[in-house]
Structure 1
Amino acid sequence: MSSDPQPRRRLSREDRQQQLLDVAWRLVHEEGSEALTLGRLAELAGVTKPVVYDHFGTRSGLLAALYQSFDMRQTALMDAALAACEPTFESIAAVIASSYVDCVLTQGREIPGVIAALASSPELEQIKREYEAVFMAKCRALLAPFSDSGEVGVAGLRAMIGAAQALSHAAANAEITAEQAQRELFESIKAMVARS
């Protein structure tokens, strides 16, 4: 008795996009961000190129979508931790530090490659800066009440983001532990607020 193959279930647009993003993250993990092309993504995802082009348009659109998915995970992780922490400076600073590092470690070594690729064009760099601005505004609102001046300056927030990226990437590459990255970022946040 022959069995007929099961008909392929058509994914919703949202499910297909998520599938493509999952395959793209795996591709970046296994082959690096340079290997990430729409054609290669279509091949690995088992779809036609027009499907991938319909979702992302260009490689830049795909990179932007990857960064957006990373940012959404980072925001959700931080919001959940903030909702569960005490409203003290130490608790809030620890949540910011641990959430940032944990999110990068959850994503793995892929995110540094995606961030580097985002810097490859002014359009992508602008997208990255927009997401950073939202993160900085959130951190400013959380931390400003604990500074003597009631303010946290842009220079300090930029230094915090630079430290967060460098420390998280070092932890993702096993140069330092996650705990060391979180502790150092926590200390950087403390120093930034103390100077404000």
Structure 2
Amino acid sequence: MSGQEPAEVRRRAPRLAKAERRRHLLETALRIVREEGADRLTLGHLAARADVSKPVAYDHFGTRSGLLIDLYRWIDIERVTVFRERLSAGCRTLDETAAILAAAYIACAGDTSDEFHAVGAALTGSAEKAEVFQELLDQNVQMFVSVLEPHAVMTGPELERYCVGIVGAGEALAAALVRGRCSEEEAVRSFTGVIRGGLLASGR
């Protein structure tokens, strides 16, 4: 024996902690969807692109459906986290906060060309999609609560219920935008009014 590792072993990605490996796999999966489309996202192709063995990919996600569900959830969580951090930086008036919140939410929810919607489309017919979608809506509600809390005089439960309504309005306006019933500017303007209107009314 020459003492050298086979080329296949040498090319494998370095060993990572499980959480780091999972993030690497999800980031690679996102690149596949972005560059090649969601239809190309399989566990075997993910393993090849991430330079890991197939058992590693199967160990993390189990099935292609499991991979799509986890990627769908991860994209939204990452997006919400960045959004919350951006809005929590600095002091803003209610009008400024409502305008930024409305513009960002409508842009994300109404953009059917991004990776989140591509993965969601690939999950069509999956029994788990509705459950995960509701989970993500709940996370969006909590994001709205955290961003709007400094401007609210409501109790915590009242604000949470109000934000459930806000998110519902945002989803409906984004759907109207997608169907061509309004422009993005019109949807943002209406959503801004919904966000600020209820909070202003509650303070009277």
- Equivalent residue for 1:161, pick from 147, 167, 171: 171
Distance 1:99-1:191 versus aligned 2 partners, 3 A rule: closer
String of CA shifts for 1:125-154, please: whole Å, max 9, x gaps.
21121111221243256278389x976374
TM-score (normalizing by structure 2): 0.68
Cα-to-partner distance string for 1:130-185 (whole Å, 9 max, x where unaligned): 111221243256278389x9763745531302434776x89xxxxxxxxx84x545
The sequence identity of aligned pairs, in percent, is 34
Instruction: Specify the code of the residue in structure 1 equivalent to 2:31.
Output: R
From 25, 29, 34, the equivalent of 1:29 is: 34
Structure 2 unaligned blocks of 5 or more:
none
Instruction: Give the aligned length.
Output: 180
1:192 deviates by: 2.2
Q: Residues 62-81 of structure 1: matches in 2 within 5 Å? A: 62-81=67-86
How high is the TM-score relative to the length of structure 1? 0.70
Question: Is the contact between residue 81 and residue 99 of structure 1 (CA under 8 Å) also seen in structure 2?
Answer: no
Q: Deviations over 1:43-82 (max 9, x none)?
A: 2222221110101112222122212321222222222222
| Distance of 2:21 and 2:32 partners within structure 1 | 16
1:129 equivalent in alignment to 2:131: no
- Structure 1 spans left out of the alignment, 5+ residues: 171-179
> After the TM superposition, which segments of 4 or more aligned residues of structure 1 sit over 4 Å from their partners?
4-8, 101-104, 153-156, 164-167
Distance in 1 separating the partners of 2:153 and 2:97? 10
Structure whose alpha-carbon radius of gyration is higher: 2
Which of 83, 101, 107 is matched with 1:96 structurally?
101
Instruction: Name the residue aligned to 2:192.
Output: 190
Instruction: For 1:145, give the aligned amino acid.
Output: A
